Amino acid sequence: MMTPRKVAVLGAGSGALCWAGNLAGRGADVVLAARTPGALEDVASAGAITIGRGGEQATVRVEVVDSPVEAIRRAQTVVLCVPADRLPGYRDEVLGALTTDHDLILSPGNTGGALYLGAQYGLTPPFGLAELNTLPFVARKTGPAAVRQFATLRHVYWAGLGHPQGDRLARTVTTMLPGAIRVPSVLQTALTNFNPVIHPPVMLLNAGRIESQGAFRWYSEGSTPSAGRLMEALDEERMSVQVAFGLEPITFRAFFDLAGYSPDTRKGLGIADTLRGSRANASILGPSTLHHRFLDEDVPFGLVPMAALAAWSKTAAPITDAVIALSEVVTGKDYVRNGFNAEALGLDRLVYEEHVHRR
């Protein structure tokens, strides 16, 4: 399995550490950087990342530099793995260092991350821009320079955004992720981000339990029948938007099985039952507060752009709108104004066939 020799990984969370550790373990020359001062201080001191998989641990060496711009200048392949609310800082202060020789992999793109980054270039960025629909790892940090990798997904979806170096970009993605499956457009990667389908319902319908009792096994205990019914309703609206854009409607369970999250592929199994049966997610604890990325990220950068794409395609999404409104009420936050709304995604300039539909 080949790997690009020089890769910059931008970010300091569990996903970024997994990316850096896995690539370095495959022989890549990895340079790691983040915008937040001191975020990678412990990794820099250790000169390495420790990754736990099952009962084993591996320590792999990586280099940390102070500046994401420096990291970009030292590599041709760049992996951007940060929470969606950090994208504005990278877009405005860092990504200007990218040239036509660079390929940027947005991992993950949440719902519309590639459109958001591409909006400042008229949706045709001069560098290669690929978006993944999800992280290729299930992981949580266990220390400042350590991460536990619960699973590696068999497959993820990817798409590029309007770049003339399409063949080069495809080689970059498939070299790094041999199991990556190309889909027609970044609208499909955006609309197969399943976090906003599964996280807000569990947060809202377990709100009292979260606030009074704290963390519990998120997927195996929180995916109750009522939460499952709300997930199913959101998933139906998500697929309706896919159909409106001429895309294949991909169910939650179909991708869950494709990615390798769940060993149970019984026909007709609902979302809640699928989550409860997932070994990869079985031991993961949820948040002990409603002020968590399961709402603070998955609503403004998941459901808000889904609602914007629904409106653009003239598709009704009343349940999506209702979950957004209820989430704003219980948190007191303005998710629509501060999220990937129609203006942030550049939907006023979106010409579907020209910019994002690449068969």
Q: How far is CA 353 from CA 54, 193, 204, 243, in A?
A: 45, 22, 37, 15
Of the residues 134, 159, 183, the one at which a domain ends: 183
The DSSP code for 358 is: -
**CATH code, domain carrying 228:** 1.10.1040.10
Q: What is the pTM of this model?
A: 0.89
Q: Are residues 247 and 169 in the same domain?
A: no
pLDDT value at residue 355 = 46
User: Which of 47-56, 141-150, 195-204, 206-215 holds the top average pLDDT?
Assistant: 195-204
Q: Are residues 122 and 218 in the same domain?
A: no
**CA pair distance 205, 322, nearest whole angstrom:** 14
Sheet holding 29-33, edge to edge: 63-64, 29-33, 6-10, 77-80, 103-106, 128-132, 156-160, 180-182
Q: Are residues 80 and 166 in the same domain?
A: yes
**Mean pLDDT over the full length of the chain:** 88
SS3 at position 280: coil
Residue 190: inside a domain: no
Q: Are residues 155 and 244 in the same domain?
A: no
When divided into structural domains, the chain yields a total of 2
Q: Which range of residues forms the domain containing residue 306?
A: 195-355
Q: Are residues 245 and 329 in the same domain?
A: yes
Q: Are residues 244 and 168 in the same domain?
A: no
Residue 1: inside a domain: no
Q: Are residues 248 and 149 in the same domain?
A: no
**CATH code, domain carrying 16:** 3.40.50.720
Range of lowest pLDDT (182-191, 237-246, 254-263): 254-263
Q: How far is CA 258 from the centre of its chain?
A: 17
The pLDDT tens digits for 52-100 are 887 788 899 999 999 999 999 999 999 999 999 899 889 888 888 999 9
Q: Are residues 101 and 24 in the same domain?
A: yes
Q: Are residues 202 and 281 in the same domain?
A: yes
The pLDDT tens digits for 7-34 are 999 999 999 999 999 999 888 999 999 9
| Residue 62, CA atoms < 13 Å, CB-side half-sphere | 39
